[in-house]
Every structure is written in C-alpha cells, then in structure tokens.
Amino acid sequence: MDFALTEEQTAIFDMAHAFGQDNIAPYARQWEAEGTIPKELWPQVGELGFGGLYVSEEAGGAGLTRLDATLVFEALSMACPSVAAFLSIHNMCAKMLDNFASDELKARVMPDVLSLNTVLSYCLTEPGSGSDAAALKTRAEKTNEGYVLNGTKAFISGGGYSDAYVCMVRTGEDGPKGISTVYVEDGTPGLSFGALEQKMGWKSQPTAQVQFDDCKVPAGNLVGVEGDGFKYAMMGLDGGRLNIASCSLGAAQTALNMTLQYMGERKAFGKSIDQFQALQFRLADMEIELQAARTFLRQAAWKLDNKAPDATKFCAMAKKFVTETGSKVVDQCLQLHGGYGYLADYGIEKLVRDLRVHQILEGTNEIMRVITARHMLANR
C-alpha cells in the first residue's frame, strides 16, 4: 500500500494549483459579484487538458484517473470552489458523452467539448424531483426526425450560460428504465431559461431552470441507448461526488492555511492568538480532520479507478464525510478570524457560503447515507 502521490500526480496538482492562483483566485470575488465566470476562461482551462480530464487520450482527453482528477479539483478549488465545481459538472457530462454517445455525435461535438469551447451542463433535477430523480417528468416524444421535448429542469448550473445541455428525459415508462439521455444545443428552438436563481453561494455560477417547449432534437443527439439514460446519469455521479468532495477539501485547506497565518499576526491579551492552547487544539483538530478526509477521498477514488465492487458506497461515504468536514473547517476558520472572518475582504465567508451546497447536490448527504446503509444491509 502506497499513500504517496507519484511525481506525475504531484505535477498535475502543482499545474492546477498554479493555474488557479494565477487565473482564478485574483478574480474570484469579482466574478462572484458579477454572477458569472467569463467565457474566455474556459478555453484556457481546456488547453491544460481539463475539458476532458478522464476522457481517454486516444479520444483526445487527458486520460487521467479519477484519483488524478481529485487532485485537479482540490488544487483549483484552493482558488475558488465555485469555478472548480462548475468544471466538475462539465467533466461529468464529457465523460458521459465519451462513454455512450454515437461515433457520429462524438465526432461532431467532442473536439469543442474537450477544448472547452463548448461548455456543458448536466440536467437531471426537476421542480418536482430532486433526490427521487427517477421520477422526472420531462417528456421526449419520438418523431420521424428525432424527439420533441417538453418539460422543465430545475437548479441547472450553467442554465442559460452553457453551450449545450446533457439532459435526462422520459422516453418510455415511469421509473428509471423509461429515461434516456439527449444532447441539446444552445439555440435549439423551444429551449429557454428561467430567471437567474439568487443563491447563498456558488454565486459566480449562473443557475437557472432549463425549459423545453416543443423543443425539437435530432435523433442523432440521443446519447447511447434509449432507456439507459438513468444508468448513465448515475454512473456520472460517482465521479462527480469525488470531485465535489475535492472542492470542499481544497477550499477548506485554503481556509486553514489562511487561519494559521492570521493567528500568528492577530494579537489579543498581549500575545498572538496562536499562543492560546485552546486555539492550538482547534488548529490540530482541523488538521486531523482534513488529513482524514483527504485519505478517505483518495481511497474512494482509488476504488472507482479499480472498479471495486464497493466503489459506489465509498464515493457516497467520502462525499458525505469530506463535504461535512470541509464545511465544519471553514466555519471554524471564520470563527478564529473573529469579526474579520465575517468580512468579505478576508475571503473566508465566501468559502463558508460556497461549501454549504456541497452537502445538498450530487445527491444530498442524506442520500449518501441511504446508499451506504443499502450496501451495508445487502451485504450483511
């Protein structure tokens, strides 16, 4: 058992970290205030190979493992978890297309997906179905030319901003087996968007409903096989959960680094606050918790890479543990900054707000417990 990163993995982390510090961190608060990430950023990210992190090299991707990808998201989220998490969603979609789209669809769309000239959104949730995603109602009626879509997707990250939408829609019976995946390009007649959602965090990412009103999609835009869409959507989520957890980890590590620094500078009662043993213990607890979270996350990623039978359970457990640890750590870091932690200039309150949603999406942390318990009961 080897817990060390390889030289190549260290280089991947360093490259992503340097890119984030140079090109994202200085602008993160501005983008948050503007409510959008400049589109020009994405082709630069694409040049690093981050538009298809785990798409195979033969198919034009970076061919990284899931474990490698967690390093990229950990490193980028040290600059801004909102931007890093948005890239995770694109990569989840890119991998779904790489795995299941027809050669014709791939030839048409993948070059721009990989270069991030086409930014992708993932459309599963609906106003009436979130955790119970298989209850989705957006209908895709088959026609001679393809499909006609009617319905609404809710909470879509990149809604109205992305260039294409990977959508889970109902082509058949009720339940998971009646769901298919279709690729819907921006500008398709009948595709429209709701108003921008006002959110607690992830403010640089536009979030909106995606609406289909007799939206005609050509048959060639079906991804994979009709009726298998829910399976594809769930397969994407194991990796998505690792990435979201990595985003919590990187942001929490940044908060802890800032807090270590701050506590050496801030004085109270005639000494720097890092001299109070009660506070030193809190630093130690945060370090222990983050190291445990990192090890658990990388173990889960390793299981997914090695197709371990309990990989899904480990991805769920790690997502729950790491996102909750990350939120706890950033909240403690805010506390250790005193009143200054509450001010935007110190950069901690944004992390508290950004990380909160990681406990809700890619499956809520209650659903992570449902998955874990289900595996435990099935294997007792």
**Smallest distance from ligand FAD to CB 207, Å:** 5
**Smallest distance from ligand FAD to CB 86, Å:** 9
Cβ-based nearer residue to ligand FAD, 322 or 336: 322
**Smallest distance from ligand FAD to CB 145, Å:** 26
CB 55, CB 94: distance < 8 Å: yes
Q: 349-378: which residues touch ligand FAD (CB under 6 A)? A: 357, 360-361, 364, 366-367, 370
Beta-bridge mates of residue 339: none
Q: 163-222: which residues touch ligand FAD (CB under 6 A)? A: 199, 202, 207
Rounded-to-integer distance, Cα 299 and Cα 285, Å: 21
Written as one letter, the residue type at 89 is: I
**Smallest distance from ligand FAD to CB 36, Å:** 14
The span of 90-98, 151-159, 177-185, 244-252 binding ligand FAD (CB under 6 A) equals: 151-159
Sign of torsion, CA 183 187 190 191? positive
Cβ-based nearer residue to ligand FAD, 131 or 143: 131
Q: Kindly report the CA angle at 53 between 38 and 5, in degrees rounded to 5?
A: 115
**Smallest distance from ligand FAD to CB 10, Å:** 31
CB 182, CB 169: distance < 8 Å: yes
Rounded-to-integer distance, Cα 102 and Cα 97, Å: 8
Cβ-based nearer residue to ligand FAD, 169 or 273: 169
The continuous run of DSSP H or E covering 222 comes out as strand 222-223
- φ/ψ (deg, to 5) at 120: -110, 145
Which residue is catalytic, options 32, 74, 324, 362? 362
Q: Kindly report the CA angle at 265 between 261 and 270, in degrees rounded to 5?
A: 140
- Residue 141 annotated to the active site: no
CB 326, CB 251: distance < 8 Å: yes
Cβ-based nearer residue to ligand FAD, 105 or 357: 357
Q: 111-130: which residues touch ligand FAD (CB under 6 A)? A: 121-125, 130
- Near ligand FAD by CB under 6 A: residue from 157, 188, 248, 325: 157
CB 103, CB 224: distance < 8 Å: no
The binding site for ligand FAD (CB under 6 A) comprises 89, 121-125, 130-131, 155-157, 199, 202, 207, 357, 360-361, 364, 366-367, 370
**What are the residue numbers of the active site?**
362
